[in-house]
Amino acid sequence: MNWIKYSINTTTEAEDFVSAMLMELDIVSIEIENNVPVSGEKQGGEFKELQPDLPDDDGTSRVCFYLGEDEDHESKLSEVKAGLAELKDMMDIGEGTIDTSITKQEDWVNNWKEFFKAFYIEDILIKPTWEEIPTDAKDNLVVEIDPGVSFGTGKHETTQLCIRQLKKYLKEGDEILDIGCGSGILSIIANKLLDGKCHIVGTDIDEDCIESTYENFEVNHISKDAGDFFVGNLTEDKDLQDKVGYEKYDVVVANILADIIIGMAPAIYPTLKKGAYFISSGIINFKENEVKEALEAVGLTIVEINYQGEWVNITARK
């Protein structure tokens, strides 16, 4: 299958808001092309990317997304253009024009290799499967990821926010639920942080993500028995809710969209043990209060809120 690549010409200041707008439209196959060097300050602390020098930053950015040939392009593009028009009323988004190109399935998978380079989040090295482990990484926790067609390399601010919270709240023997597991990166990191002394259940609406998660488990020498992953929407699928279980988890993590967290909150609460933590991100800053109110409405207590760029992590407790 071919994919149609749409590239929105915008600015580095607006790229997170454009990305968030796309996510609100259920578009998650997003990449950002710019010449901004990644700094520890922008990425929220101990972050170092292993990449060559970039051209000078001119303030422009391209936020790219992909739609399959079988999707309703006219309807989706109409929604995107309406979203861009709303953003223009709020801020300078630059040109706001959209370019179009065609990407073959095999190119879609291989294109990740051009943009995905090894990087550190504090003492964790996250690297693509096709790169060697750097010689200076012997003492680091190493995670190997091949995202393929699934979402999640660890470079996005929301994933990094979740990783830092997992490091803070996980303990040996925990039962962990990963909602919207994507490539499985958060599940893999949780397993490695606890040296395998945990059990993980994950869900995703995309069957490709479940397959990708199991493949990445194997790449990281993690037994399939260390986790159980299911396809489905926890918000509305009673059978999936029963499979996931009730009052079972010490930590639930969800790096998904703000509106999905809001709608899913009543289904998340029953999965948590008393005293358990819910770690959430994927929340653009102007959605923070809505998510807080939704979590508090089902009985959760907000423990802490963290920020990275335009993105927010909210951690709550039952």
Structural domains of the chain, count: 2
Q: What are phi and psi of 237, to 5 degrees?
A: -100, 100
* Type of residue at 148: G
135 and 117 Cβ atoms separated by less than 8 Å: no
The residue-averaged pLDDT of 7-21 equals 92
Is residue 296 located within the same domain as residue 192? yes
Q: Does residue 140 form part of some domain?
A: no
Q: Does residue 122 form part of some domain?
A: no
**309 — pLDDT class (breaks 50, 70, 90):** confident
Is residue 96 located within the same domain as residue 13? yes
Q: Does residue 134 form part of some domain?
A: no
Q: Return the closest-CA partner of residue 212 out of 163, 152, 132.
A: 152
Is residue 163 located within the same domain as residue 286? yes
Q: Does residue 121 form part of some domain?
A: no
The residue-averaged pLDDT of 171-194 equals 95
For position 64, which CATH number holds? 3.30.70.120
Residue by residue, DSSP assigns 1-67 as -EEEEEEEEEETTTHHHHHHHHHHTT---EEEE--PPP-HHHHTSSEEE--PPPPPP-SEEEEEEEE
Q: Does residue 216 form part of some domain?
A: yes
Residue 76 has pLDDT above 70, yes or no: yes
Q: Does residue 75 form part of some domain?
A: yes
Residue 35 has pLDDT above 60, yes or no: yes
Cβ-count burial of 136 within 10 angstroms (0-12 exposed, 13-18 middle, 19+ buried)?
Answer: exposed
Is residue 66 located within the same domain as residue 180? no
Percent of the chain with pLDDT over 70: 85
Q: Does residue 200 form part of some domain?
A: yes
Identify the domain containing residue 105 by its residue range: 2-36+57-111
Is residue 219 located within the same domain as residue 272? yes
User: What token pair was written down for 144?
Assistant: 């190997």
**240 — pLDDT class (breaks 50, 70, 90):** very high
Coil, helix or strand at residue 150:
coil
**49 — pLDDT class (breaks 50, 70, 90):** very low
Residue 230 has pLDDT above 60, yes or no: yes
The residue-averaged pLDDT of 174-186 equals 94
